[in-house]
Amino acid sequence: MVPTQGPAGLAGRRTLITGGLGFIGSTLAHRLVALGAEVTLIDSLVPEYGGNPHNIAGIESRVRVNISDIRDRHALPYLLRDLDVIFNLAGQTSHLDSMTNPQVDLEINCAAQLSLLEACRQHAPKAKIVFASTRQIYGKPDYLPADEKHPLRPTDVNGINKMAGEWYHILYNNVYGLRATALRLTNTYGPRMRIKDARQTFLGVWIRAVLEGRPFEVWGGEQLRDFTYVDDAVQALLLAATLPETDGQVFNIGGDPPLSLAEVGRLLAQLSGGSFEVKAFPADRKRIDIGDYYADDRLFRRTTGWAPAVPLNEGLRRTIVYYREAWRHYV
């Protein structure tokens, strides 16, 4: 059941979600509909990027869907006009793909972001913009938990382009008065995430394996990570959209206390009845792995009052239940 409580001021507001048929975007759409907002979704439905029409099952008649690519700058003025809030979630998320096809990553995560902001400056200057950034831009941490003052040293093309996209938003906030906020998300998981491959999250691959009755692979196993259940990430996005204290700011979003990947594997195996094997990290992945990472998100908590509400064991349980019921729509 989608919770209806949320930040005040969204009922009747005209909202747009780029990447709206994707994992986080569609979950946000469900929540916005429940809060009474007018919702438009943009998604390219490029097969590799996670958009899935089933993600809006139950709200199809209550949202407007536009199948277009944010790289198409000619479509943006029409879509952006008269908006109140823009949730900018569209992006290429695969770190490995960014290394094998860096030009596409540059187009989506960097150039298209600049085009979107230019269109906002001209056609939606009063809209609040919330950008989904990533913890990947920190690279290998110098200290943990990593706060927003940590140096930015991305280890892959994806991180460099996401960093540029993030700072375009802050620049346009500072120079042109567009109200923008960036949230650095970390290991968001839950129903509607991509599970057919590892382009979005390794947890999706693990869940697919256990539901197919196969052992899943844990690479390395000692790396520490924190995780954010998708409903908690959506709540953070809503707070960022509605609180003026977030304007022009960059925030980390974390979750539960960190666990090693082996510990997460054991928890998933216990919840699902599955099993896993620990294997050596593949060389192509190891080169761009950031090692241990977990966020210091106290700044966002102090600024907004946000706190994660769904612990990892409950979030994984809900995710398993969801995919057992909706399996055929995701593989």
For the CA atoms of the chain, what is the radius of gyration? 19
Task: Examine residue 3 and state whether it is found in any structural domain, yes or no.
Answer: no
Question: What pLDDT, on the 0 to 100 scale, is given for residue 99?
Answer: 87
Task: Examine residue 167 and state whether it is found in any structural domain, yes or no.
Answer: yes
Angle between helix 261-272 and 202-211 (nearest 10): 30
Asked if the model's pLDDT at residue 7 lies above 80, the reply is: no
Task: Examine residue 4 and state whether it is found in any structural domain, yes or no.
Answer: no
CB atoms within 10 A of CB 197: 12
Angle formed at CA 171 by CA 166 and CA 175, multiple of 5 degrees: 160
* Selection from 158, 180, 178, 32 nearest residue 106 by Cα: 158
Task: Examine residue 137 and state whether it is found in any structural domain, yes or no.
Answer: yes
Tell me the pLDDT tens digit for each residue of 56-72. Answer: 999 999 999 999 988 88
Question: Which residues face 276 on adjacent strands?
Answer: 216
Residue range 222-229: mean pLDDT, rounded? 95
CB atoms within 10 A of CB 288: 18
Task: Examine residue 7 and state whether it is found in any structural domain, yes or no.
Answer: no
Asked if the model's pLDDT at residue 300 lies above 80, the reply is: yes
Of residues 229 and 44, more confidently modeled: 229
Whole domain around residue 140: which residue ranges?
A: 14-329
Task: Examine residue 140 and state whether it is found in any structural domain, yes or no.
Answer: yes
DSSP 245: G
Of residues 281 and 249, more confidently modeled: 249
Tell me the pLDDT tens digit for each residue of 14-43. Answer: 999 999 999 999 999 999 999 999 999 999
Using CB atoms within 10 Å of the CB of residue 99, give its burial: 0 to 12 exposed, 13 to 18 middle, 19+ buried. Answer: middle
Tell me the pLDDT tens digit for each residue of 177-213. Answer: 999 999 999 999 999 999 988 766 889 999 999 999 9
Question: What pLDDT, on the 0 to 100 scale, is given for residue 131?
Answer: 98
The amino acid at residue 13 is R
Question: What pLDDT, on the 0 to 100 scale, is given for residue 13?
Answer: 97
- Count of the separate structural domains present in the chain: 1
φ/ψ of residue 217, rounded to 5? -100, 130
CATH number for 275: 3.40.50.720
Q: What pTM, to 2 d.p., does this model score?
A: 0.94
Angle formed at CA 202 by CA 129 and CA 282, multiple of 5 degrees: 125
**Residue 6: band (very low, low, confident or very high) from pLDDT cuts 50, 70, 90:** low
Task: Examine residue 6 and state whether it is found in any structural domain, yes or no.
Answer: no
**Residue 3: band (very low, low, confident or very high) from pLDDT cuts 50, 70, 90:** very low
CB atoms within 10 A of CB 289: 16
**Residue 83: band (very low, low, confident or very high) from pLDDT cuts 50, 70, 90:** very high
Task: Examine residue 85 and state whether it is found in any structural domain, yes or no.
Answer: yes
